[in-house]
Amino acid sequence: MESPMSEGRDFWWDEEIVAADIANDCRPEIMDAEDPLFILYTSGSTGKPKGVLHTTAGYLVYVMQTFKWIFDIRDEDTYWCTADIGWITGHSYIVYGPLVNGATSLLFEGVPNHPRPDRFWEIVEKNRVSIFYTAPTALRTLMKEGNHWPAQHDLSSLRLLGSVGEPINPKVWMWYRETIGQGRCPIVDTWWQTETGGIVISPFPAATPCKPGSATLPFFGIQPEIIRSNLDQTTLEEGGWLVIKRPWPGLMRRVYGDSERFKKTYFAQFPGVYTTGDGAKTDEDGYFWIMGRIDDVINVSGHRLGTAELESVLVSHASVAEAAVVGMPHETKGQGIYAFVTVKTEVLQRDDLIAALKQQVRSIIGPIATPDKIQFAEALPKTRSGKIMRRVLAKIAAGDVTNLGDTTTLTDEAVLEDLIRNRQ
């Protein structure tokens, strides 16, 4: 097709590039290893955002190596990470990691379900994508719409799948594995944070035996540990604080402009280790299971329950698409359990579904975990990176709706009205 060129406004790349003296006009700047590379502000569930600062050499070494080994990148691959570039996942695994490895990488600006819920699969087919990295929130959105959408596309180019951002519910993991990966592709469930710079707990594809819902084992050089409030190591299956004992090249260097806050947030509660803020447990194989943010743990009559496990049990019901669980004030138990649930597109919201869901949690986790209230929601409040904003939901559950706190990172304000209106 002819391009309508406008004199003085449009130029041909091939003509301009030969005329440019790249070696002299655009010289690389030599940086010191510890020079700042970028600052990324974390939304921070409470208080004002923190400027997480990463530096040049360590960060680049770390994202280069994790990208190379966890995504097993090869010359013939076409890699696609669906994240927003403004999120750390976009920084590390769209910009720096793929570029420093010279990978062929697809960039996409858009959402998974527009114009139709097969947008991702259409792009995979058209570009013969071989490595695909996305978030559980996107997978749940697409799974909800039914298998006929991926079924319309040739997904045979895929050879490796990745997940990041939230715990992936086992049911969603199985769907990813069977329906998208067609039982053929390994899945890497990658646990990490803005602060860690790159992936710190993850399987190596096809080398680490997987368990759906576990990010499995630490990357080389990473020494995670799970501890109690008194610093003792936890026993098997006992939930506790996830900390990392030794530094690594990708660890953030400081909170921009606030070294006190850096120390206080990550190194004060447990001196000598990096505190992640997540709760976790290990099983008999030493595999790590992330339980959710420690601040979101619910304490029912002295029993501490992580959000991830409760939500995964709700999601395992055939009618349920997504679930978010929060604590609510309760007279006798201290905290009660309030669950927000979205159902699959064709499912009607019925009272007997509430009873079935309560029964399911009761029989799988135990009577103590039975939700006190279940509310059907049209959608859940999420950040731009797809994380459920449980802090906002906890306020709604408590009936404290006049001040929902900082909702600047919320993607869609309209979601709140439905949630408040239908409060149980």
Sole window of 96-104, 270-278, 352-360, 362-370 interacting with ligand 7RM (rule: CB under 6 A): 270-278
Q: If binding is defined by CB under 6 A, does position 289 make contact with ligand 7RM?
A: no
CA pair distance 383, 44, nearest whole angstrom: 11
- Residue 195 tokens read as 């602060």
Residue 115 CA: distances (Å) to CA of 79, 120, 122, 180, 283: 23, 11, 11, 20, 42
Interface mask (CB under 6 A) for ligand 7RM, residues 24-63, using x and -? ------------------x---------------------
Task: Give the nearer residue to ligand 7RM in terms of CB position, either 172 or 369.
Answer: 172
Q: If binding is defined by CB under 6 A, does position 192 make contact with ligand 7RM?
A: yes
Which of 215, 243, 341, 388 touches ligand 7RM by CB under 6 A?
215
Half-sphere exposure of 229 toward its Cβ, with a 13 Å CA cutoff?
1
Q: If binding is defined by CB under 6 A, does position 166 make contact with ligand 7RM?
A: yes
- Residue 50 tokens read as 């923190």
Minimum CB distance to ligand 7RM, residue 156 (Å): 26
Q: If binding is defined by CB under 6 A, does position 307 make contact with ligand 7RM?
A: no
Which of 77, 125, 145, 278 touches ligand 7RM by CB under 6 A?
278
Minimum CB distance to ligand 7RM, residue 247 (Å): 17
CA pair distance 388, 408, nearest whole angstrom: 14
Site for ligand 7RM in 318-347 (CB under 6 A): none
Task: Give the nearer residue to ligand 7RM in terms of CB position, either 131 or 354.
Answer: 131
Q: If binding is defined by CB under 6 A, does position 293 make contact with ligand 7RM?
A: yes
Task: Give the nearer residue to ligand 7RM in terms of CB position, either 80 or 149.
Answer: 80
Cα pseudo-dihedral 127, 130, 131, 137, rounded to 10? 60
Sole window of 62-70, 275-283, 334-342, 372-380 interacting with ligand 7RM (rule: CB under 6 A): 275-283
91-121 core/surface letters (b: 16 or more CB in 10 A; e: else):
bbbbbbbbeebebbbbebeeebbeeebbbbb
Helix (H, G, I), strand (E, B) or coil at 191: strand
Q: Which of the 8 DSSP states describes residue 294?
A: G
Task: Give the nearer residue to ligand 7RM in terms of CB position, either 282 or 375.
Answer: 282
Which of 37, 81, 88, 315 touches ligand 7RM by CB under 6 A?
88
Taking alpha carbons only, the member of 208, 202, 140 closest to residue 169 is 140
Q: What is the CA 187 to chain-centroid distance, rounded?
A: 14
CA pair distance 46, 294, nearest whole angstrom: 13
Which residues, including other chains, have CB under 8 Å from residue 352's CB and lie 6 or more apart?
Answer: none
Minimum CB distance to ligand 7RM, residue 199 (Å): 8
- Residue 242 tokens read as 């996830």
Q: If binding is defined by CB under 6 A, does position 385 make contact with ligand 7RM?
A: yes
Q: If binding is defined by CB under 6 A, does position 241 make contact with ligand 7RM?
A: no
Which of 137, 190, 275, 282 touches ligand 7RM by CB under 6 A?
190
Chain residues in the site for ligand 7RM (CB under 6 A):
42, 88-89, 164-167, 189-194, 215, 276-278, 290, 293, 385
